[in-house]
Amino acid sequence: MTEGIPNKIIIDSAAATLIRDHKIDLIVTGADRVAANGDTANKIGTFMLSALAKVYNVPFYIAAPTSTIDFNMEDGSKIKIEERSGDELRVIEGVRILPEEMEVYNPAFDVTPHENITAIITEKGIIKPPFKENLLKLKKELNR
């Protein structure tokens, strides 16, 4: 808004419809970790958005500082995904809404494969595919 860029906040469950209906021009998300091949880990749901963007040809960008890039991690399959407490879903504001014994899968993050990413935006510039090659160039630049 500060820069005059049109924007709108939406609920995450509306994203698929808006992407399908070509009402989203591009998607930018963050990343908590970037692997050497360009796979990224971010909040749960990021992978889903990237897959929809790929199907409907919507550019999908990652914005992350170079400090999130793990040049020693070969790919996203090596990223450890934190699983949060099941009570985050079983209990809301102290009120149990699901039985205690109800099994819950509650990951905090997911991994977006580099094939779904248009480019990675960093403070050092925009990294485009092929990510493995271009991230290696960035590593050399950072080590100077």
Token pair of 114, please?
A: 């580099």
- What pLDDT does residue 10 have? 87
In the numeric block, which tokens belong to residue 25? 């021009």
Given this model, what pLDDT does residue 11 score? 86
Structure confidence at residue 129 (pLDDT): 98
pTM of the model: 0.90
Domains detected in the chain:
12-142 (3.40.50.10470)
Question: Is there a catalytic annotation at residue 70?
Answer: no
Low-confidence residues in the chain, pLDDT < 50: none
Token pair for residue 77?
């399959």
- What's at 99, amino acid-wise? P
The per-residue pLDDT for 21 is 96
**How far apart are the C-alpha atoms of 96 and 19, rounded to whole Å?**
35
List the catalytic residue out of 21, 32, 39, 110: 32
